[in-house]
Amino acid sequence: MTTLFLLAVGLFLVLVQTVPPGLALPLASAYDLTAVFVLYLSLFRPPVQGAVLAAFLGSAMDLFAGGPPGPYLVAYLWIFAGARSVPRYVRAVNPLFLAGASVLAVGVEAAILSGASLLAPGGGATAARYAGFWGWAMIWAGATGWAMILGLSLAVERLEKRISARSDEDGEPPSKNRG
């Protein structure tokens, strides 16, 4: 159930990111919210669940963004792997750590997407045009990414408690729960 909830949130973010800017949430045009969601998956979810969801969301973003296949998938997997390599003695719930990690996640994504655009014809001009955007995106990610991650963590924690309480009431494990 938690995986389905996370998949729904991730697909919502992908759709918000790929809708024309005037129709999306105001913050969605500031930076890629899905990159911060992948950071959440890396820091707070089991490795297999997070990696599969990150790969799926990267593929979906590549498909819906209309660009060449691969850059978002590579960016999300690098963000996931980089955050998973952070030693576990660093408290992941520290807002300053999460703000810095959000800035790094968006920076990694910016570097990969800018590098991919350099390979296209006329890509140097495109990369230069978006350099200022990526700077503002990193500032926005640092200012709001930590709140998004902590909010997701709280929502998933409540969902898991609710599922656990429901399975305790029925006296069956969650996998056999028919209610």
Residue 178: inside a domain, yes or no? no
The residue range of the domain holding 110 is 2-171
Residue 176: inside a domain, yes or no? no
Number of domains in the chain: 1
* Sign of the dihedral through C-alpha 92, 94, 99, 101: negative
Residue 179: inside a domain, yes or no? no
Residue 47: inside a domain, yes or no? yes
Supply the mean pLDDT for the chain.
83
129-167 exposure pattern, b = at least 16 Cβ within 10 A, e = fewer: eeeeebeebbebbbebbbebbbebbeebeeeeeeeeeeb
Residue 43: inside a domain, yes or no? yes
Q: State how far the Cα of 149 lies from the Cα of 98, in Å rounded to an integer.
A: 8
Residue 94: inside a domain, yes or no? yes
pLDDT tens across 125-155, in order?
767 777 778 888 899 999 999 999 999 999 9
- What pTM was estimated for this model as a whole? 0.83
Residue 177: inside a domain, yes or no? no
pLDDT tens across 34-52, in order?
999 999 999 999 999 999 9
Residue 63: inside a domain, yes or no? yes
Q: What pLDDT score does 29 carry?
A: 60
Q: What pLDDT score does 179 carry?
A: 43
Burial class (CB in 10 A: 0-12, 13-18, 19+), 84: middle
Q: What pLDDT score does 6 carry?
A: 94
Residues of the chain with pLDDT below 70 are: 20-29, 88-92, 126, 170-179
